[in-house]
Amino acid sequence: MASPIQWYPGHIAKAEKQLLENLKLVDVVIEVRDSRILMSSKHPKIEKWVEGKSHILVCNRIDAISTPVKTQWMRWFTDHDRMAYFTDAQAGKGMIDLLKAAQVAGEKVNERRRSRGMLPRPVRAVVVGFPNVGKSALINRLLKKKVVASANKPGVTRQLRWIRISDEIELLDTPGVIPPLLYDQDAALKLAICDDIGQAAYDNVLVAAEAVDLLIGLGAKLSARYQIDPLTVTSGIEYIHEVAALNKFQGDLDKVARLILYDFRKGKLGAIALEMPPSLT
Ligand SMILES: Nc1nc2c(ncn2[C@@H]2O[C@H](COP(=O)(O)OP(=O)(O)OP(=O)(O)O)[C@@H](O)[C@H]2O)c(=O)[nH]1
Ligand SMILES: [Mg+2]
C-alpha cells in the first residue's frame, strides 16, 4: 500500500498566514492552475479566498497539454459558465486577454469607489496557487521583464511581494500554498507527478510508478524512450523494475523514477494532460 503524501513545512504555513493577512487588501484573486491537472491543482480553500472579490481563473502550462484536450477543457468551462484564461507563461501566450480581464476588474473596483465618493486607485490583485504552477513567471510576463524569481522547482517564491504592473494594476506575488492535510491522495500524487509540491514530500519511486500507470492509460510512448514495452508489464512499479534492470541503470529504481518524472515534466513524453474534463456533471 502506498504511503501517503503529506507536506506542510513551516515556510508554507507562514506563506498561507501572510496570504490570509494580505487578502484583506486585494480586490482580485488570480488563481493559477496547472493545465495538466486542472482539478487537482484547484486549492481546496480557493472559494473562501475569493469571497467578495473578483476571481480570475488562469490555466497555465497550456503548452504541456494537447490542443484537443485544451479544446475540451475550454468547452467544459464555457458549458459551466466559467471564464478561464489559458496561458503559457514561459512563452508569454495568453497575456493580453488576462491583462484585459484584470483591467476590467479594476474598473469595477473604481466605479464602486467613485460611487462612494472615494478616489480611484490601482486595482490590487493577488496571484495564488500551488507551488511551481507558474505564478511568478506569469507576473514577469505581464510586466514584460524579470522582476520576481521564477525557476523550475517548487518553493522558489518565499516572500510576498507587490509589483506595480501599470498605473492601473498592482500584483502580489505569493509563495505556492499547499493544504495542511492532503486528504485527496489521488490529487496529491498528481501534484507530485507534475512537480507542484515540495520534492521532500514524497518517494520518487512511488510517484513515478503512479505516473507510469497513468501514462500507459493515456497512450504515452514509453517504449520508444525506455526500451521496455509497457504491454509486457501489469503495473507502473513493475515497469520501473524492468527499466531499472537494463544494464545502464544497474537496478537503481530511484534513478529510473527520477528520469521518468523528469521526462514527463519536461514534456519529453508528449503533451499529456493527466486530467480530462469530468463528462457527467
Ligand atoms: N512549459 C512551461 N513552463 C512554465 C510555464 N509557466 C511557468 N513555467 C516554468 O515553470 C517553472 C516554475 O515557474 P514559477 O514562476 O517559478 O512558478 P511559481 O508558481 O511562482 O512557483 P513557487 O514560487 O515555487 O510557488 C519555471 O521554470 C517557469 O519558467 C508554462 O506555461 N509552460
Ligand atoms: Mg513563485
pLDDT tens-place string over residues 145-179: 999 999 999 999 999 999 999 888 999 999 999 99
User: Is the per-residue pLDDT at 245 higher than 80?
Assistant: yes
Is residue 212 pLDDT above 90, yes or no? yes
What is the rounded distance in angstroms from the CA atom of residue 59 to the CA atom of residue 7?
Answer: 24
Q: Is residue 158 part of a domain?
A: yes
Q: What CATH number has the domain bearing residue 84?
A: 3.40.50.300
Please check whether residues 140 and 254 belong to one and the same domain: no
> Which residues 6+ apart lie within 8 Å of 125 measured at CB?
26, 27, 28, 29, 30, 56, 102, 105, 169, 170, 171, 172
pLDDT of residue 279: 80
Instruction: Say what the pLDDT of residue 256 is.
Output: 98
Domain count, the chain: 2
User: Which atom of ligand 1 sits closest to the CA of residue 139?
Assistant: 15
Ligand 1 near 193 CB (within 6 A): no
- Which residue did the predictor score with more confidence, 109 or 39? 39
- Report the pLDDT averaged over residues 17-35: 96
Residue nearest to atom 32 of ligand 1 (CA): 61
Q: What are the tens digits of pLDDT across the range 40-83?
A: 999 999 999 999 999 999 999 999 999 999 999 999 999 999 99
- Average pLDDT over the chain, rounded to whole? 95
**Alpha-carbon distance 27 to 120, whole Å?**
13
Ligand 1 pocket member 15 (CB < 6 A)? no
Task: Please report, rounded to a whole number, the percentage of residues in the chain having pLDDT higher than 70.
Answer: 98
Quick one: pLDDT band at residue 4, thresholds 50, 70, 90? Answer: confident
Instruction: Answer yes or no: is the C-beta of 60 below 6 A from any ligand 1 atom.
Output: yes
Tell me: do 212 and 253 sit in the same domain. Answer: yes
Ligand nearest to the CA of 139: 1
The structure's pTM equals 0.96
Range 251-258, long-range pairs (CB < 8 A, 24+ positions): 253/205, 254/204, 254/205, 256/208, 256/226, 257/204, 257/205, 257/207, 257/208, 257/209, 258/204, 258/208
Whether 152 and 20 map to the same domain: the answer is yes
Residue 99 CA to ligand 2 center (angstroms) comes to 19
Residues 166 and 216 in one domain: no
Please give the pLDDT value at position 99. 94
Which residues lie below 8 Å from residue 135, measured CB to CB, with a gap of 6+? 32, 127, 128, 129, 157, 173, 174, 176
Does 184 have pLDDT greater than 60? yes
Report the pLDDT value the prediction gives residue 281, as an integer from 0 to 100. Answer: 46
The domain in which residue 82 lies consists of 10-173
pLDDT band at 1 (very low <50, low <70, confident <90, very high): very low
The pLDDT of residue 2 is above 90: no
Q: Is residue 234 part of a domain?
A: yes
